[in-house]
Amino acid sequence: MFEVLFAHIEEKVTLTDKEKLAISEFFTFKKIRRKQYILQEGDICKNMVFINKGLLKSYRLDEKGGEHITVFGWEGWWISDLKSFLQQIPATLFIDAVKDTELLVISREDYEELTLAVPVMNRYFRILYENSLVTKDERLISLNRYTAEEKFQRLIDYNPEMIQRVPQHLIASYLGLAPATLSRIRKRLGSGK
């Protein structure tokens, strides 16, 4: 049950068996079905989740009900509304399952406790967040500076796994493009899936 999580942590830091046991005690295993929510706008994001298997998406809804996807998460990813989770204030994001998904769930309080009980987890999260900051910087640049075609090309170059794992209409939403626009771009780039 914890293999994916431990493998992910051990890409960044070394864990003893004792630390693994301690870590496992802070998480709850949960299965959710396709289309099931784990967070809705306005609720407080009580948990951060680690994805064992499956696919989740986080998104905002605009006034017309349009989805603006901010993040996809598959096995080995963490997902939450970070501001809502850290500050325990109402969320601005929805998070739901694109496929049946298996999660390891940790509460706000236990997240803090975990880093006190197993200090090496600070090192793990520090490195994880360094990487997230770099990714978010690239997203900021990409949204501001590139054409639709360049955005998709950058996704192919820097995040090919997303293209394998995520349905095309959701990638369009992630890039802020109409699905038809993305279809045209894929044809032009000759990368039909």
Residues that bind a copy of itself (CB under 8 A): 60, 62, 68, 70, 82-83, 86-87, 92, 115, 119, 122-123, 125-126, 129-130, 132-134, 136-141, 143-145, 176
Smallest separation, CB 134 to a copy of itself (Å): 4
Q: Which is nearer to a copy of itself, 145 or 193 (CB)?
A: 145
Q: Which is nearer to a copy of itself, 31 or 126 (CB)?
A: 126
Show Cβ contacts of residue 179 under 8 Å, excluding neighbours closer than 6 positions.
Answer: 168, 169, 172
Instruction: Assess contact for 43 and 91: CB atoms under 8 A.
Output: yes
Smallest separation, CB 81 to a copy of itself (Å): 9
Alpha-carbon gap, residue 7 to 5, rounded angstroms: 5
Smallest separation, CB 169 to a copy of itself (Å): 19
Smallest separation, CB 177 to a copy of itself (Å): 13
How many CB atoms sit inside 10 A of residue 25's CB?
12
Secondary structure E strands in 14-127: 28-32, 37-39, 47-53, 55-61, 67-74, 78-79, 94-97, 101-107
Smallest separation, CB 67 to a copy of itself (Å): 13
Q: Which is nearer to a copy of itself, 99 or 139 (CB)?
A: 139
What count of residues does the chain have? 193
Q: Which is nearer to a copy of itself, 116 or 180 (CB)?
A: 116
Show Cβ contacts of residue 40 under 8 Å, excluding neighbours closer than 6 positions.
Answer: 91, 94
Q: Which is nearer to a copy of itself, 30 or 40 (CB)?
A: 40
Alpha-carbon gap, residue 114 to 14, rounded angstroms: 16
